[in-house]
Amino acid sequence: MSDVVDVVSPEPPADPVREKLLAEVAALPALPGVYRYFDADDQVLYVGKARNLKKRVSSYFQKNHGGTRIGHMISKIVRMQTTVVRSEAEALLLENNLIKTLNPRFNILFRDDKSYPYLKIASHDFPRMAYYRGSVDKKHRYFGPYPSAWAVKESIQLLQKVFRLRTCEDTVFNNRTRPCLLYQIKRCSGPCVHYVTAEEYGRDVANAERFLLGGQQEVMDTLQAQMMAHAERLEFEKAAEIRNQLGALSRVLHQQAVDTGSDKDADVLAVRVQGGKACVNLAMVRGGRHLGDRPYFPAHVEDATAIGADEADEGAPVEVQVLEAFIAQHYLEGGVPPLLVLSHAVDKALIEALSEQAGVKVTALHQPREQRRAWLEMAIKGAELALARLLAEEGSQQARTRALVEALDLSPENLDTFRIECFDVSHTAGEATQASCVVFDSHKMQPSQYRRYNIEGVTPGDDYAAMRQVLTRRYAKLAEAAEKGEARLPDLVLVDGGRGQVSMAREVFEELGLDLGLIVGVEKGEGRKVGLEELVFADGRDKVWLGKDSAALMLVAQIRDEAHRFAITGMRARRASVRTGGSRLEEIPGVGPKKRARLLQRFGGLRGVTSASVEDLLSVEGISRELAEEIYRALH
């Protein structure tokens, strides 16, 4: 009879990382604050806020989240950081500041694609109107922000019609001997040739500023009084001019598409979520005028909303989470108007925090009535259309990617991460040769990964040698890193050219030991007509014509044209730098691209900058006396 032995299963070994995290959680205070989670590569995973740090952070580690998105995130956490603050409002502001700075993988993130444009009225005896984008200063007056460049330019045209303010550069203004065409068509009062006094022009500027600030009725009353005063003094010509101004202003106000009532400054925010994507549409009212709208599309919506809903006690709807993230991140650095009209109700603490930060009372209005409701309905419709357009474009791009993969008989591991790199060479008669590399990844172009290469040491106009150089520079180190598993080669390499360029690419890839099947040349068809292009392969396959209506050819053409555009713009900039001597200015400390452009524009090129005195250089915006003296020394 055999002995029966009870075998006790050993307990699974303790996870030291998790034990350390649990110990840190146990020591957290029951105070408001912000927490950050990091992975093994020390990349931030998630940033969150809490009224009670101990209670909130504990909920992540005490529940069984299984295979959910939040469970996936928790499995990656190896360390955390916390910051205790004085209030929930401070926690909210710090949270979104960190989100914008750190770009966490599991947070909703709205990217600042570009700064908003403004309408600028520059300080001068005869102030000038101008379109402006950038940081503002106290020297000039700025109106806005506007949702688009079109809205600014439309406002400038409006002010030209009504108040006849100048838009010309100071260099043009100071050297006019007769009025320009704008004076002839009654879009300028001709201050450059003294057809209007500084006092009269100043009144027009003051009226324009009042108009932009929402005082339309006040401006009309002022103009009416001036017209009557001129008539009483029998100055009928001046009275007639003001009468014409009043008529133009009345027509402009009548043509306004949206009546804003008594609201002078407001933002209307509408959010829509569909297909794992979200859109926040922002419509702006400034100075009592509806200026148009602008859609925003956040990243990480699915991951972030799954975690956000889980961590909240009541589970806020996705739309509310997206809208709150936009409000916090968009207005974090200021610029919030006194009224927000919202498609969904948001946390009152968020609005209170904004009010505290801005130093003004901010009101959030949900379920508005009358005119405000009309604004909101317009913004909601805009959000729906923008989101539908995004989803349609994404679906189209995915279809194009799949069509290309099938046409070339490729077998990528993941279609959603299929990567194409495309090269083009550009020069003018051999001058300023430059090559470009553009990247298509995850069904879209990736401008942040584009690269330009200055081609040196080759015979001018030798495109084959230029292509050899750029491919060698691009893939020599990348091939070594790929062998070690430290980098990833593209799934497809496009070269703009036929058999000659493909043969050169083949030689480079053979020397580097890379797969020749990656190389495809885009050869122009008969008569160089669009749609007749053929694909040439480096591995010996026969040429392929995809057909002019092929989705695969559309994608190839899109990428090839982008590479061509990127190469040409780089080549032109380099050529201009060589011809104008801009590179001499680049070598001067403190002279960046903007200041260099202003100097060259003001003085008509490097020769003009060289002949300018220190006092002349000081007249350029952004040039201090110290920098002006440094520029003068460097050029003499």
| Per-residue model confidence as pLDDT tens digits over 612-630 | 888 888 888 888 888 888 8
Higher-confidence residue of 259 and 440: namely 440
- What values do phi and psi take at 250, rounded to 5? -65, -40
Q: Which of 107-111, 133-137, 571-575 has the highest mean pLDDT?
A: 107-111
Helix spans in 362-420 (H) = 370-407
Question: pLDDT confidence of 68, banded at 50, 70, 90?
Answer: low
3-state secondary structure of 134: coil
pLDDT mean over 389-409? 84
How far is residue 411's CA from residue 518's CA, in Å, rounded to a whole number? 12
Average pLDDT, the chain: 80
Cβ pair 282, 146 in contact under 8 A? no
Residue 230 half-sphere exposure toward CB, CA atoms < 13 A = 15
Of residues 627, 602, 601, the one with CA closest to residue 614: 627
Domains in the chain: boundaries: 26-102, 117-255, 266-388, 415-561, 581-635
Alpha-carbon distance of 142 to 323, in angstroms, equals 28
Distance CA 436, CA 494 (A): 12
* Statement: residue 333 has pLDDT above 60: yes
How confident is the model over 555-571, as a mean pLDDT?
A: 83
User: What percentage of residues in the chain have a pLDDT greater than 90?
Assistant: 12
Query: Is the CB of residue 126 less than 8 Å from the CB of residue 166?
Result: yes
Indicate the pTM of the whole model: 0.60
Q: What is the pLDDT of residues 512-530, one digit of tens each?
A: 888 888 899 988 766 556 6
pLDDT-based confidence at residue 312 (cuts at 50, 70, 90): very low
Confidence of residue 472 (pLDDT cuts 50, 70, 90): very high
SS (H, E, C) 590-621: CCCHHHHHHHHHHHCCHHHHHHCCHHHHHCCC
The larger pLDDT score, comparing residue 232 to residue 451, is at 451
Query: How is residue 551 written in tokens?
Result: 């989705």
Looking at residue 313, its pLDDT comes to 42
Q: Which of the pair, 108 or 220, is modelled with greater confidence?
A: 108
Q: Under CATH, what is the fold of the domain 266-388?
A: Nucleotidyltransferase; domain 5 (3.30.420)
Contact 599, 618 (CB under 8 A): no
Same-fold call for 266-388 versus 415-561: yes
Model pLDDT, residue 341: 92
Indicate the CATH number of 581-635 among 3.40.50.261, 3.40.50.300, 2.130.10.10, 1.10.150.20: 1.10.150.20
pLDDT tens-digit series, residues 179-237: 888 888 888 989 999 888 888 898 889 888 887 877 666 777 777 777 787 777 787 77
Going through 406-548 in order, the beta strands assigned E by DSSP cover 419-428, 431-441, 444-445, 451-454, 492-496, 519-523, 534-537
- Categorize the per-residue pLDDT at 484 as very low, low, confident or very high, splitting at 50, 70 and 90: confident
Lowest-pLDDT range of 3-12, 22-31, 265-274: 3-12
Ranges assigned E (strand) in 201-276: 266-274
pLDDT of residue 305: 61
Q: Which residues 6+ apart lie within 8 Å of 198 measured at CB?
A: 125, 126, 191
Task: State the Cα–Cα distance between residues 498 and 537, nearest whole angstrom.
Answer: 9
Q: Which fold has domain 415-561?
A: Nucleotidyltransferase; domain 5 (3.30.420)
Give the tens place of pLDDT for each residue, 580-592: 444 567 667 778 7
CATH code for residues 26-102: 3.40.1440.10
